[in-house]
Amino acid sequence: MAQKKSNSNILILAVFIPIVLAVAGVLILTVFNNRVAESPTDDNSTPIANSEGISIYNPPKPVHDFTMPASTGENVSLSDFRGKLVLIAFGYTRCPDVCPTNMLEYRKIKRFLNANADEVVFLFISVDGERDTPSSLRDYMALYDASFIGLSGTDETLAPLMDDYGLYYGRIENPRAPQEYLIDHTATRFLIDKQGNLSRVYSYTTDARAITRDILSILAGG
């Protein structure tokens, strides 16, 4: 009798254990798949950089639209340029080093693009709205190329761009001349695709020819 009871228990376990293991396996697989779906490696928060200092978002990263007073005398929005590539640099007109370099690179890129230059909008976004009025930005753009567009940013309008572009800026005070402060700021350049998403980040050291090659590749569908 005891032998029959033992055999019965073994039979129950033989049937029950595989069921438990199967259910547990399904639960583990479900949790694992959810973790993978939520993993940062599956989003586009970190672009992949190549040897030329060009970081590529694949897929492109959605960014906020923005509207700022422009050197054109009107309010300009990023969404105004859908259907074109938009090259963005941040700075300010009194910048002694980074900004003049970026603007000269802009000019080279436009020249290298030749007939394709009409497909690209060149934006310079000031992080010094207190001093960089639309009229002063117009004069600054004219030093390099009158077709370049300067935008006057404020802390409020620039705030969403901090997350989107990793933008940073901060005043370096001048005690002897309070109005002659400097600003430490982001030096990299950014490329917005024709759908209004962030496609590329160009390091400060990436030269105009490398940027031009990349833009031409994008325009060609590469």
Give the CB-side neighbour count of residue 124, counting CA atoms within 13 A: 36
* Domain span at 21: 2-42
**Tokens 């422009």 found at:** 70
Cβ(202)–Cβ(190) below 8 Å: yes
Residue 136 and residue 181 in one domain: yes
Same domain, 116 and 14: no
Beta-strand runs (E) in 82-221: 85-91, 120-126, 149-152, 169-172, 182-185, 189-192, 197-202
**pLDDT per residue as tens digits for the range 52-98:** 999 999 999 999 999 999 999 999 999 999 999 999 999 999 999 99
Distance CA(94)–CA(152), nearest Å, equals 13
In the chain, count H helices and then E strands: 5, 11
Q: Are residues 35 and 83 in the same domain?
A: no
Residue 1 has what pLDDT? Answer: 52
Q: What pLDDT sits at residue 187?
A: 98
Residues 75 and 152 grouped into a single domain? yes
Q: Quick: pLDDT tens for 112-167.
A: 999 999 999 999 999 999 999 999 999 999 999 999 999 999 999 999 999 999 99
The per-residue pLDDT for 222 is 59
Q: Are residues 36 and 141 in the same domain?
A: no
Residue with tokens 């989107």: 164
Question: Under a CB-based contact definition with an 8 Å cutoff, are residues 186 and 100 in contact?
Answer: no
Structural domain total, the chain? 2
pLDDT at 13: 43
Distance in angstroms (rounded) separating the CA atoms of residues 19 and 17: 5
Listed in order, strand segments (DSSP E) in the chain are 48-49, 54-62, 67-69, 75-77, 85-91, 120-126, 149-152, 169-172, 182-185, 189-192, 197-202
Q: Is the pLDDT of residue 32 over 80?
A: no
pLDDT at 34: 35
Pair 180, 118 in one domain: yes
DSSP secondary structure, 17-29, as one string: HHHHHHHHHHHHH
